[in-house]
Structure 1
Amino acid sequence: MLAVFDLDETLIRGDSSQLFTEFLRAENIDTSPDSEARGRVFMRAYNNGHMDLQDYMEFSLAPIRGWQRDQVQELIDRFVTKVIPPRILPTAQERVAWHKAQGHDVLVISATGEHLVSPIARHLGIDDGIGVQVEWHNNSLKGTIGSRRPFRGGKVSALEEWIAARQASPEKVWFYSDSHNDLPLLNAVDYPVAVNPDPILEDYAQQQGWLIFIDEVALA
């Protein structure tokens, strides 16, 4: 059995990539004057289901382009330690604990960059995470992304590749998400679950009779 969790607004309150951009501004690493406004434009596009993932990732990686891998890791460790703990949402964490108690494999899959997804997943007690592939050259961050892009239908192919690479064949697959952007994967699994769903996903989940969980803190 495999339990797959989206990250943002499912396991944590907020968008992890946007939170990282805000962290970079607070640390005076991102000093571009228009970054906050551009970030809002990208988030509106995401919520409407038509964000250009490559443009967004290149925007979010730009402040640390050229950094060495160990510098990036140290920065992200500080970000995760400082920003993530108060944003952990209870329902999905309870479901993670339930699945682990059943002996199920647990995985995070997100349209956020892998440089953030894997460390946040580990902080949440989840060993495996799939994110947007981030490219490096000689341990230097290129600021570009590779072919693995788990956004919308890309989450289906990314999960299929992850399963194939492990020569695994899970008996059943659960998937927990908040976003209508994840409908391709939600419709592909055995047990789709809506967690803190956006209005489009909530309506769809109700029509399909799916489980729906809502954290009041997510709405605060």
Structure 2
Amino acid sequence: MRKVAFFDIDGTLFRWQLYHELIFELKNMEKFSSDEISQIDRAFLGWQSRNKPWREYENTIFDIFEKKLTDISLDDIVLASKKVVERSGHKIHNYTFKLLKDLQKKDYFIVAISGSGQGIVEAFAKLYDIDKCIGHLYEIIDGKFSGKTKRYTFNRKAEIVREVVESENLTLKDSIAIGDSYGDIGMLELVDNPIAFNPSKELLETAQQNGWKIVIDRKDIAYTLENQNGSIILAKTDEF
């Protein structure tokens, strides 16, 4: 049985968010109305200027995208995904990229789990020879988006981990998972070696409570923090 490693993509391997890039590419392709474009731009500027919280911005653009999806062709989504990956697929974190390559050399089965859409997740995962990728899956009927979702990944990562381990005949012995947000906690709880990467407040608190490894990636240095006797100490630095 092969050992397994689970990677979150958005904010963990990829430096930004694939679905945000996809939405803005569709905006550039004029697939949204002028009013929808104004809403997207206002939400983005509100977050950038710190006048709106991240979650409000994220919910705004995601709601616009999902409501518009039935009016956007599958071909346009494929084209936009291709453009995003070609333009931005190289924008990855040094630490997680090195971890990915090291684990591939050790013959780990690599799984990417993301809240971004399955199509763009597949395009990104292909760049890095990831064995299996699981993203948010929208229903397609007769080549068109129906407006319904076939598979959610948000808050289901623990369930997905169990499903993949069983279906691919993998072992959780020496397993690894890395993620950056609250939604990754369930996945991290199931593996032998969880890593909280540039963690959100909620994930940082959980990592500290459970003694998980914490990694802060900044420019060309990654700082690894570990729990020793109830205290968080700097255990290692990696330069890239």
**Shorter-normalised TM range:** 0.7 to 0.9
Deviations 1:117-151 (A, max 9, x none): 111111233132101121100121223312x2111
Q: Distance in 1 between matches of 2:67 and 2:87?
A: 22
- Report the equivalent of 1:187: 189
| Greater mean alpha carbon deviation, residues 21-30 or residues 56-65 | 56-65
**Does the aligned pair in 1 maintain the 2:13–2:92 contact within 8 Å?**
yes
Deviation for aligned residue 1:70: 3.9
- Greater strand content: 2
Q: Confirm or deny that 1:158 pairs with 2:160.
A: yes
| Shift in CA distance, 60/172, structure 1 to aligned 2, threshold 3 Å | farther
Instruction: Describe the SS at the equivalent of 1:214.
Output: strand
Deviation for aligned residue 1:105: 0.5
Instruction: Describe the SS at the equivalent of 1:34.
Output: helix
Q: Distance in 2 between matches of 1:176 and 1:143?
A: 31
TM-score normalised by structure 1 residue count: 0.81
RMSD value over aligned CA atoms?
2.7
Q: For 1:36-185, list aligned pairs within 5 A.
A: 36-37=41-42, 43-44=54-55, 59-85=64-90, 87-146=91-150, 148-152=151-155, 154-185=156-187
Higher relative contact order (CA 8 A, sep 6+): 1
Which residue type is aligned with residue 40 of structure 2?
Answer: S
| Greater mean alpha carbon deviation, residues 88-97 or residues 16-25 | 16-25
| Greater mean alpha carbon deviation, residues 168-177 or residues 10-19 | 168-177
Q: State which structure, 1 or 2, has the greater radius of gyration over its C-alpha atoms.
A: 2
Instruction: Describe the SS at the equivalent of 1:97.
Output: helix
User: Percent of aligned pairs with the same residue?
Assistant: 22
Q: Distance in 2 between matches of 1:46 and 1:178?
A: 18
Deviation for aligned residue 1:100: 0.3
| Shift in CA distance, 19/217, structure 1 to aligned 2, threshold 3 Å | farther
Deviation for aligned residue 1:104: 0.6
Deviation for aligned residue 1:57: 5.4
Which residue type is aligned with residue 208 of structure 1?
Answer: N
**Does the aligned pair in 2 maintain the 1:114–1:132 contact within 8 Å?**
yes
Q: Distance in 2 between matches of 1:170 and 1:209?
A: 19
Which residue type is aligned with residue 101 of structure 1?
Answer: K
| Shift in CA distance, 75/156, structure 1 to aligned 2, threshold 3 Å | same
**Does the aligned pair in 2 maintain the 1:10–1:177 contact within 8 Å?**
yes
Q: Which segments of 5 or more consecutive residues in structure 1 lack a partner in the other structure? A: none
- Report the equivalent of 2:224: none
TM-score normalised by structure 2 residue count: 0.75
**Does the aligned pair in 2 maintain the 1:176–1:192 contact within 8 Å?**
yes
Deviation for aligned residue 1:176: 0.3
Deviation for aligned residue 1:186: 1.2
Which residue type is aligned with residue 65 of structure 1?
Answer: T
Deviations 1:48-83 (A, max 9, x none): xxx7xxx97563244453444444322211121113
Q: Which segments of 5 or more consecutive residues in structure 2 lack a partner in the other structure? A: 221-240
